[in-house]
Structure formats: C-alpha cells, structure tokens
C-alpha cells in the first residue's frame, strides 16, 4: 500500500490535469454524441415521414392499379359486345347485299319485260279517245255503247 501511496503522491501533480483533460474530453465526446444522436433522430423522423408518404403513394398506386384492372375487364366485356354487334351487323349487311342483288336482277327482268310489246287489249285501252272519270261516268259510257270489247 505504501508503494501505491508513493506512486499516487509522485504522479498526483500530473494525474489531476490528465484526469481533468479526460473529463473535458468525455464531456466533449458526450456533447458530440448528443449532437450525433439529435441528427440521427432528425434523420429518423424525416425518413419515417418519407416512409409514411411512400406508403400513401403505394396505397394510391394500388387503388389506381385496381381501378385500371376493373376498367380493363369492362373494356374486354365491351369489346366482346362490340364484336357480337359487328357480327350481327355483318349478317344484316350480307342479307341486304343479297336482297340488292336480287332486286337488281329483278330490275333487269322488268326492263326486259318493259321492252316487249303490250298485249292488244292493253293497246286498245290506251287508244280510247276519252278518259273515264269515276264510276258514274263509266256507267254512262257503258250505257252509250262505248264498252271495252275483246280484241279477238
């Protein structure tokens, strides 16, 4: 123990300033660490806010994706309906095209028929000098002898 007391007495003169410097360094280190901790807490808070914003963005994006998926499903359903209507329209167009071709052919036949000579009875009806004006006038013509006769 004496040896310890001697050592302490011998080194007390420089041990106290060294201890004081060590305490000052510890205080500076504590201050620095508190500053670093404050800075890290601010960064942590900022990053927590960013995480909250990103979570909100993710939720919004997920809702947008769900909306787009539903719109895609609706568009596919609409496309199916449009294709069905297109097929129905094509059937109607085909039917109308066939009818138009049939009417065109019929028109050609009517033109050929129209170019033929009228029967004699019809020609004689057109060659009468007067026009019949109602049933009373027709009866009067019949009673006067202006009846339509057979051409044979």
Output the six-digit token pair for 10. Answer: 């011998």
Tens digits of per-residue pLDDT, 29-71? Answer: 999 999 999 999 999 999 999 999 999 999 999 999 999 999 9
- Better-predicted residue by pLDDT, 116 or 76: 76
Asked if residues 148 and 125 have their Cβ atoms less than 8 Å apart, the reply is yes
Separation CA 61–CA 68 (nearest Å): 10
- Please give the Cα distance from 149 to 124 (Å, whole number): 9
The model carries a pTM of 0.45
Residue pair 145/151 in contact (Cβ under 8 Å)? The answer is: no
Say if CB 120 and CB 151 are below 8 A apart: yes
Cβ count within 10 A of residue 89: 10
Domain ranges of the chain: 10-125
| Mean of per-residue pLDDT scores for the chain | 85
């Amino acid at each position: 123990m004496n040896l310890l007391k001697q050592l302490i007495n011998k080194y007390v003169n420089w041990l106290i300033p060294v201890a004081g410097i060590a305490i000052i360094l510890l205080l500076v280190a504590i201050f620095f660490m508190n500053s670093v901790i404050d800075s890290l807490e601010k960064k942590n808070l900022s990053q927590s806010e960013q995480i909250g914003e990103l979570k909100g963005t993710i939720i919004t994006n997920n809702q947008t994706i769900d909306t787009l998926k539903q719109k895609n499903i609706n568009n596919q359903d609409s496309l199916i309906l449009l294709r069905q209507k297109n097929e129905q329209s094509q059937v109607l167009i085909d039917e109308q095209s066939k009818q138009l071709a049939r009417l065109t052919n019929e028109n050609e036949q009517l033109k050929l028929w129209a170019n033929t000579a009228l029967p004699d009875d019809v020609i004689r009806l057109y060659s009468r000098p007067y026009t019949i004006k109602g049933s009373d006038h027709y009866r009067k013509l019949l009673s006067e002898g202006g009846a339509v006769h057979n051409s044979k």
